[in-house]
Structure 1
Amino acid sequence: MSVDQLSVSLTKEQAYALVDAVSERDDLALTASAHENEETGEWIFEATCDSPPDLGAFNALARQVLGGDVAFSVDAIDPEINWVAKSLEGLAPVIAGGFYVYGSHETGPIPEGLTPMKIDAAQAFGTGHHETTTGCLEAIETLLATRTPTRMIDIGTGTGVLAIALAKRLDAVILATDIDPIAVTTTVDNAVDNGVGDRIDAIEATGLDHEEILARAPYDLVVANILAGPLTDLAPGVGGITQAGGTAILSGILNTQADGVIAAYQAAGFTLRDHLQRKDWTTLVLEKN
């Protein structure tokens, strides 16, 4: 298989925003990531694509997400190189709250006292390395110290990392939803690999009006790590499916976008209980009035 690497220098905020946008598509890239060049301090967006990459689609997405054109460069990847292994280089295990998230390439021992989750890089978003995921895991850890939810939904599940975290800690079934069928398949596979396949029901769903989502409502815990725009649009629906006293953990929100999301959820009947900031990103914990 012929594979190319597409890259461009951006600000950190722009690079992560473009990674998020590419991760929501199943037709653009095999992997997408952002990292800092330690020598220059620049942030680099990289995507590994079937050759040749669809530059027109990447440029259109960049204009939509970043508000302007960017100058992508494309380099062929040596077919003798294992590009999957290459894409995993530098993805060290992540400790967030009481969870230990690692890839199958990691051979070191699992630290005692932490809940392990094996999550490999995939086309779905959520290896545990992004601040939005670590913020959600920390919020889940804090919540579980005082509450034991029994009816839970993970909206925009990606790789299933948040649903798996809940399933590892709780004796209950978690509903995991995503608009992307690849994410649903990835979640199912990851749940089985982590020994919780019987506690996660993954479905493809757009919005919150899917019959399975409504049939299981109301929920005492809603988690959603997506983007600020969709979260704001979903606020009335999340309010409708969350029981009184229930919790919503929301992320995918830039710090500069937090006030707008908070206002939308206050209007939907929630009270802000915690506001976690991890670098440029916010995780919100809200309680239904």
Structure 2
Amino acid sequence: MSVDQLSVSLSKEQAYALVDAVAERDELALTASAHENEETGEWVFEATCDSPPDVEAFNALAREVLGGEVSFTVEAIDPEINWVAKSLEGLAPVIAGGFYVYGSHSTEDVPEGLTPMRIEAAQAFGTGHHETTTGCLEAIEMVLRKRTPSRMIDVGTGTGVLAIALAKRVDAKILATDIDPIAVTTTIENARDNGVGAQIDTIEATGLDHAEIQARAPYDLVVANILAGPLTELAPGMGEITQASGKAILSGILNTQADGVIAAYQAAGFTLVDHLKRKDWTTLILQKR
């Protein structure tokens, strides 16, 4: 199979916004990622596509998401190389919510007093570097200061970073779900590598109708770092699986989309507890009435 890499230099916020937009268009790319060029300091958006990529479709999406024209570069690549993982190998450790998130390439000592999580670059979203993930880690710390949940679910787990964070802090089972089988496999591997494999159960599931999700409900803590559109669609189901006084931590939401998501969850029986903003991105903490 012939594979091409489509790339463009952008700001960090633009690169991640384009990654999120491409994630909603499965036909455009096999994978999409954003990373910092160590030599120039520029942020780069990269997409791995079947050859030839639909450059005009990418241009139209960039105009819609970024509000202007960009100049994509297309280069033939070796399909045997995991280019997403390769582009993420140089990322520095992240500190958020009392957690220290790092990759195996990191040679730094874990600072005293922080909870370490080793999350490897992989073909799944969530290395801890995006503002949505750091916002969720901070929100988890805020919630756990006030209560210790016993029934938890991570919807759209990606690499499993949020499920692992919960398992590191709470001695209870966490159900981690994702629509992508690669994400499920990645979560299993990362949970095992972090010594919490026995605490995290993973399933491939679209939405919240899966029998395992329903059987374990109601949950006293739901976390979901996906996108505003799917979060809004899931609001009624989230209301059904969350117990009274249970908390929900939601992210993957642009600041401009926050009011719409909040309204959807208020209609589903939630009250807004806190609204964290990290650059262009929002993380919400809500409580079921």
Quickly name the TM-score band, shorter chain normalised: 0.7 to 0.9
Confirm or deny: 8 A CA contact 2:176 2:201 kept in the other structure.
yes
- Correspondence list, 1:1-289, <5 A: 5-10=5-10, 12-22=12-22, 28-29=29-30, 32-35=33-36, 44-47=44-47, 49=48, 53-56=51-54, 59-60=56-57, 63=60, 67=64, 71-76=71-76, 86-289=86-289
Shift of 1:98: 0.7
Shift of 1:17: 2.3
Comparing 247-256 with 88-97, greater Cα deviation is found at 88-97
Shift of 1:122: 1.2
Gaps of 5+ in 2: none
Shift of 1:208: 0.5
Q: Distance in 2 between matches of 1:82 and 1:225?
A: 24
Gaps of 5+ in 1: none
Q: Distance in 2 between matches of 1:29 and 1:118?
A: 25
Confirm or deny: 8 A CA contact 1:243 1:288 kept in the other structure.
yes
| CA displacement 1:9-44 (0-9 Å, x = unmatched) | 4465442122124457599345611448997x9753
Confirm or deny: 8 A CA contact 1:14 1:66 kept in the other structure.
no
- Judged with a 3 Å threshold, the aligned counterparts in structure 2 of structure 1 residues 38 and 231 are, in CA distance, closer, same or farther, namely farther
Q: The residue matched to 1:283 in structure 2 has which SS?
A: strand
| CA displacement 1:214-269 (0-9 Å, x = unmatched) | 00000000000000011011110000000000000000000011011001101111
Confirm or deny: 8 A CA contact 2:85 2:122 kept in the other structure.
no
Shift of 1:108: 1.4
Shift of 1:53: 4.2
| CA displacement 1:32-81 (0-9 Å, x = unmatched) | 11448997x9753123x37x64412x6546645753885421235699x9
- Judged with a 3 Å threshold, the aligned counterparts in structure 2 of structure 1 residues 118 and 42 are, in CA distance, closer, same or farther, namely closer
- Judged with a 3 Å threshold, the aligned counterparts in structure 2 of structure 1 residues 277 and 122 are, in CA distance, closer, same or farther, namely same
Q: Distance in 2 between matches of 1:136 and 1:100?
A: 14
- Could you say what the CA RMSD is over the residues aligned between the two structures, in angstroms? 2.9
Q: Distance in 2 between matches of 1:173 and 1:260?
A: 32
- Judged with a 3 Å threshold, the aligned counterparts in structure 2 of structure 1 residues 191 and 273 are, in CA distance, closer, same or farther, namely same
Comparing 22-31 with 160-169, greater Cα deviation is found at 22-31
Q: Which amino acid aligns with 2:64?
A: G
Q: Distance in 2 between matches of 1:63 and 1:29?
A: 18
- Judged with a 3 Å threshold, the aligned counterparts in structure 2 of structure 1 residues 191 and 65 are, in CA distance, closer, same or farther, namely farther
Confirm or deny: 8 A CA contact 1:174 1:199 kept in the other structure.
yes
Confirm or deny: 8 A CA contact 1:19 1:34 kept in the other structure.
no
Percent of residue pairs identical:
75
Q: Distance in 1 between matches of 2:273 and 2:23?
A: 30
Q: Distance in 1 between matches of 2:269 and 2:103?
A: 39
- Judged with a 3 Å threshold, the aligned counterparts in structure 2 of structure 1 residues 17 and 62 are, in CA distance, closer, same or farther, namely farther
Confirm or deny: 8 A CA contact 1:17 1:65 kept in the other structure.
no
How many residues of Structure 1 are paired with residues of Structure 2 in the alignment? Answer: 284
- Judged with a 3 Å threshold, the aligned counterparts in structure 2 of structure 1 residues 62 and 213 are, in CA distance, closer, same or farther, namely farther
Q: The residue matched to 1:197 in structure 2 has which SS?
A: coil
| CA displacement 1:170-227 (0-9 Å, x = unmatched) | 1111000011111011111111111111000110000111100000000000000000
Q: Distance in 2 between matches of 1:178 and 1:129?
A: 20
